[in-house]
A and B are shown apart, each in its own frame.
Chain A
Amino acid sequence: MAMHEAAVVVHDLTKRFGSFVAVDRISFSIERGEVFGFLGPNGAGKSTTIRMLSGLLLPSEGTATVAGADVAREAEELRRRIGYMPQLFSLYSDLTVEENLQFYGGLYGLGPSTLSGRMAQLQELLGLGEVLGRLTSTLSTGWRQRAALACAIVHEPPVVFLDEPTSGVDQSARQQFWDLIADLAADGTTVLVTTHLMEEAERCTRLGMISRGKIIAMDSPHALMAGLDGLIFVAEVERPLEALQALAGQPWVRDSALSGSRVRVRVADGTADVEGQLRAVLDSAGIAVERVRETRPSLEDVFVALVGDAGEGEAA
């Protein structure tokens, strides 16, 4: 791979399944050592994009180059240079972690001495020592994902694709997993990771927000949040879903969305007495309001504002 070239270069990449357009002319590039996040709801086209970049699906149109290999024409070369961790757990559940590592090491043609050296490294990097001899079926989801990551990077690929690596993983294990991603990037590995969790997305160096097969925004998380117009208010209310419906039609509300059990609304800069107006609307709808406060914009607010459709707010 030429040194000057970006790790991933995607141009007008499109994937159609029959008449359904899963990925619609997306273009982006990822520099070496970046942690690039794909953020969007399920079905937005994140996995389809990753599968095209991994050589598992042929693009309908457009081109993509990963680590210098064209995804359509140089699939075998491509596969040697990438690590791929599918969304669905893909290790053998009746094999131990060590046996899975040996299997993947073998698939990438690693010899016994290279492999044992690499396994020692991975043990240290991922702290796998205590689970190495256990069947993966007996592991917690957090450990399984770590083992899967270890298998995906056993051959030291320059580019790694992680498809929803933390789905089903608890909060603290998720933090640890993102620490591992940061370590990988610090060592010069380029990481493309998909997620539908906003708080994870903040740990990426750059984000592509994806909705209905299109990239609707692309920048660093900080720049995306800073670029959002207006003010964000969060309200703790009695019946959030009904509150959301009551607020959605108000002319002074630019966007509204559910965030957990709270309602978030975005209003234009300089809107007067937001709390008063909000309480008035909800009071007349018979919904009790516990607390209203202004807050800093989150990635979720950015996403909701960009999509401009509360129906997509489930991305949180």
Chain B
Amino acid sequence: MRCPAPLRRMLAVARAEWIHNVRDRRSLAIIIALPIMLLLLYGYAIDFALDELLFAVLDEDRTEQSAELVRSMASSRYFTLVSAVGTPAEIERMIAAGRIRFGFVVPRGFGEDVSAGRAGQVQVLLDGSDSMTAGVALGYVEAIVRERQLDLIAEWAARSGVPPALIAPPIDVRTRTLYNPELKTVTFMVPGLIAVIMTMLAALLTSGCIVREREVGSFEGLAASPIAPVEIIIGKLLPYAAIAVADVILCIGVGWLVFGVYPTGSRPALLLLSGLYLVASLAIGLAISSVARTQQVATLLAFLATMLPTLLLTGFVFPLRSMPTVLQWFAQVIPATHFLKVIRGIYLKGTGLGPYTQETVALAVISLALVVLAAKSFRKSLE
């Protein structure tokens, strides 16, 4: 079979780059150990932070009803009761000292109200300085209180002999969360984490590979040869795309074994889209490597260019819809925005590629554009 010269040139670059990586222990360590380490680190950090929220209780009511409510709070796996206190000021002191995440206050009259069929009131004192945790904690508290409320209504109905249907609230909101029924953060976070970790790793991998050639002197031989910039870029991309997809498989394995979170949908589709997505990150790294003067600068730029937008602007941490419109538009050109939808979908909803035509097209366009950008930013001139 005749092999055209451009393909030969790309393969020559790809082979040399592959050999660099397998012979260099440091780069092997980065390729294998870094994604595992980051996934474990962030996976555990995020999992534990929202699992056992410490809280204190101030029960001013001291009735059977209030005690029952406090018991159901304390028995929740999300909360750990630290102590029962006597005054609101004590709660504030404990929050300030960081000993508890929130305080739960049952005011006098709660039991009386509830027994009379009136709405009982409770108060939650939250640590707003950590609004993420506060929001999650409030959500859990509301869920527990709502459940207790329904029980109380049923009890009251039974005692008074009125059919429960008549006294039940006119609108009974029953939330059923699909795809992640326990609302476990780790289930939600692992696919996102894999996306974020791989985004950063991919850009880091390629950020050194052209600037390093300039530093060690091999660049001149390459530049004096007839190879075209786009052939160099694609040649460099090939081995790293293979490495990156292998890393995705590694991350999926770790997520499965350690956190018990695995893709319920089509795994071939996931790998295919991961490859398509990671080309974008690899190309960002290459573009940076083409223009950077030193490897250190390239590494730093790669980190900033991928991590910041991926963490902040893609819906990984903060929901996209809560952002200003301009930022929402900007988010559309960040590849992670689209990939997060896909990877979460395949992990949690068990889908294949079918529902993600739009995202697939977007990823393909963005990746292609970034490869072109990398090729354009590559200069064979030494000036």
Q: Which residues of A contact B (CB under 8 A)?
A: 51, 54-58, 76, 79-80, 82, 84, 86, 88-95, 99, 102-111, 151-152
Complex Cα spacing A55 to B222, Å:
12
Residues in B whose Cβ lies below 8 Å from that of A104: 12, 221, 225
Decide yes or no whether B71 CB sits under 8 A from chain A: no
**Max chain B Cβ within 10 angstroms of own Cβ: one of A95, A106, A151:** A106
CB-CB under 8 A for A106 and B12, given A91-B221, A94-B23, A111-B3: yes
Decide yes or no whether B218 CB sits under 8 A from chain A: yes
Q: Which residues of B contact A (CB under 8 A)?
A: 2-3, 5-6, 8-9, 11-13, 15-16, 19-20, 23-24, 216-228, 380-383
**Residue on B with the closest CB to A84?**
B224
Say how far A106's CB is from chain B's closest CB, in angstroms. Answer: 2
A-B contact pairs, 23 of them (CB 8 A): A54-B224, A55-B380, A56-B223, A57-B381, A84-B220, A86-B224, A91-B221, A92-B16, A95-B16, A99-B15, A104-B221, A105-B12, A106-B11, A107-B13, A107-B222, A107-B226, A107-B227, A109-B5, A109-B6, A109-B8, A109-B226, A111-B3, A152-B221
CB-CB under 8 A for A90 and B221, given A110-B8, A111-B8: yes
Complex Cα spacing A88 to B5, Å:
27
**A95 contacts B19, CB within 8 Å?**
yes
**A107 contacts B220, CB within 8 Å?**
no
Residues in B whose Cβ lies below 8 Å from that of A108: 225-226
Say how far B175's CB is from chain A's closest CB, in angstroms. Answer: 58
**B221 contacts A56, CB within 8 Å?**
no
Residues in B whose Cβ lies below 8 Å from that of A151: 221
**Residue on B with the closest CB to A54?**
B224
Say how far B212's CB is from chain A's closest CB, in angstroms. Answer: 11
Complex Cα spacing A152 to B2, Å:
25
Residues in B whose Cβ lies below 8 Å from that of A79: 224-226
Say how far A18's CB is from chain B's closest CB, in angstroms. Answer: 11
CB-CB under 8 A for A88 and B217, given A107-B222, A107-B226: yes
CB-CB under 8 A for A103 and B224, given A57-B382, A58-B381, A94-B20: no
**Residue on A with the closest CB to B20?**
A94
Say how far B54's CB is from chain A's closest CB, in angstroms. Answer: 53
Given contacts A89-B217, A103-B16, A104-B12, 5 further A-B contacts (CB under 8 A): A56-B224, A79-B226, A86-B220, A107-B227, A108-B226
Residues in B whose Cβ lies below 8 Å from that of A55: 224, 380
Complex Cα spacing A95 to B24, Å:
11
Residues in A whose Cβ lies below 8 Å from that of B9: 106-107, 109
Residues in B whose Cβ lies below 8 Å from that of A110: 8
**A56 contacts B220, CB within 8 Å?**
yes
**A94 contacts B24, CB within 8 Å?**
yes
The one of A89, A102, A152 in contact with B12, judged by C-beta atoms closer than 8 angstroms, is A102
Complex Cα spacing A105 to B12, Å:
8
**A86 contacts B16, CB within 8 Å?**
no
**B216 contacts A56, CB within 8 Å?**
no
Residues in B whose Cβ lies below 8 Å from that of A103: 12-13, 15-16
CB-CB under 8 A for A91 and B12, given A55-B224, A80-B226, A108-B226: no
